């Protein structure tokens, strides 16, 4: 199959490596000539260009740019495509993207591979990034079944775990397990700077070990990605943030009023049910 990838970074590059391994012909488009050269050198693509027209003969196109340029980029490509060309994106928020693109592209399906890294760019693209991780498609009532089938086959080739749901369900679910954790983890790091004694803050920085490394990881990631998640999934994120604030208030109250058994009961519930998510 001739596959187009627009946006050659971590996700686009990793898709290119896996699809080439499966024998597909991969055409990449990126904004900077340097990124195109690196993609060729790293074996991510068979052909690379800064011209969006390069993907117009592809059977399937993956849009892998940052969220804020995704719709604009797609709308620039769509008029040159054949009617049967399947277009999908990998953005981490779905409702706004699907609503903007579906009316212009009959074979558009939103998608989101649930795999990533703290770093970005073509140099951190990785073979097998998606294997054993969820990959969700968000078709709607008007999505052609043939397009879903074709993408499902490609997702199977990535050895990812295939799911489907509506764009709205996707956004609510990822708010809980991806977008809220970024905000919570960032607020943890930010809270430490409320320490007024510089000596204590310095000591805390020296004593921080595996626990802080785990809990601060997603909050200390690429700022632009966190901001775009919040911007493009603000409704669902706000819903989860308000719920989180209620839980935090309950913890404060339990500590203030020394309700240790009640606090322990919540922590027991968390210990029992954490595996439900992992």
The footprint of ligand NAP (CB under 6 A) covers 6-12, 29-32, 35, 64-67, 69-70, 73, 90-92, 112-113, 116, 120-122, 225
From the number of C-beta atoms within 10 Å of its C-beta (0-12, 13-18, 19+), residue 142 rates as exposed
| 60 contacts: CB under 8 Å, gap ≥ 6 | 1, 3, 4, 85, 86, 87, 88, 150, 151, 154
Least spacing, CB of residue 27 vs ligand NAP, in Å:
13
Least spacing, CB of residue 199 vs ligand NAP, in Å:
37
Q: Is 92 helix (H, G, I), strand (E, B) or coil?
A: coil
Least spacing, CB of residue 87 vs ligand NAP, in Å:
14
User: Of 172 and 250, which has the nearer Cβ to ligand NAP?
Assistant: 172
Q: Is 277 helix (H, G, I), strand (E, B) or coil?
A: helix
| 20 contacts: CB under 8 Å, gap ≥ 6 | 26, 43, 44, 45, 46
User: Of 64 and 78, which has the nearer Cβ to ligand NAP?
Assistant: 64
Q: Is 198 helix (H, G, I), strand (E, B) or coil?
A: helix
Least spacing, CB of residue 227 vs ligand NAP, in Å:
11
Least spacing, CB of residue 161 vs ligand NAP, in Å:
14
Q: Are 217 and 189 in contact (CB under 8 A)?
A: no
User: Of 114 and 266, which has the nearer Cβ to ligand NAP?
Assistant: 114
Least spacing, CB of residue 142 vs ligand NAP, in Å:
23
Nearest residue (beta carbon) to ligand NAP: 9
User: Of 147 and 182, which has the nearer Cβ to ligand NAP?
Assistant: 182
User: Of 177 and 262, which has the nearer Cβ to ligand NAP?
Assistant: 177
Least spacing, CB of residue 121 vs ligand NAP, in Å:
5
| 210 contacts: CB under 8 Å, gap ≥ 6 | none
CA distances from 152 to 35, 112, 115, 218, 272 (A): 28, 12, 17, 29, 33
User: Of 85 and 92, which has the nearer Cβ to ligand NAP?
Assistant: 92
Range list of H helices, 107-209: 145-157, 167-174, 180-192, 198-207
Q: Are 87 and 107 in contact (CB under 8 A)?
A: yes
User: Of 113 and 139, which has the nearer Cβ to ligand NAP?
Assistant: 113
| 99 contacts: CB under 8 Å, gap ≥ 6 | 167
């Amino acid at each position: 199959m001739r596959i187009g990838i627009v946006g050659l970074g971590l996700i686009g590059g990793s898709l290119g490596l896996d699809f080439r391994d499966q024998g597909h012909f991969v055409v990449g488009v990126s904004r900077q000539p340097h990124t195109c050269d690196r993609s060729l050198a790293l074996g991510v693509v068979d052909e690379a260009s800064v011209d969006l027209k390069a993907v117009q003969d592809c059977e399937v196109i993956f849009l892998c740019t940052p969220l804020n340029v995704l719709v604009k980029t797609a709308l620039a490509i769509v008029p040159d495509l054949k009617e049967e060309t399947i277009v999908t994106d990998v953005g981490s928020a779905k409702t706004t993207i699907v609503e903007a693109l579906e009316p212009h592209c009959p074979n558009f399906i939103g998608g989101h591979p649930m795999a990533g890294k703290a770093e970005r760019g073509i140099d951190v693209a990785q073979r097998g990034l998606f294997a054993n991780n969820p990959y969700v498609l968000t078709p709607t009532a008007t999505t052609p079944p043939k397009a879903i089938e074709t993408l499902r086959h490609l997702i199977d080739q990535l050895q990812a775990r295939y799911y489907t749901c509506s764009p709205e369900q996707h956004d609510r679910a990822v708010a809980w397990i991806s977008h809220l954790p970024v905000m919570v983890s960032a607020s943890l790091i930010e809270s430490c700077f409320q320490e007024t004694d510089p000596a204590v803050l310095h000591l805390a920085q020296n004593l921080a070990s595996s626990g802080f490394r785990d809990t601060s990881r997603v909050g200390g990631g690429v700022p632009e990605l966190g901001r775009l998640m919040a911007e493009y999934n603000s409704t669902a994120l706000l819903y989860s943030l308000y719920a989180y604030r209620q839980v935090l208030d309950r913890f404060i109250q339990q500590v203030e009023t020394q309700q240790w058994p009640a606090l322990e009961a919540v922590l027991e519930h968390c210990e029992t049910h954490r595996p439900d998510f992992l």
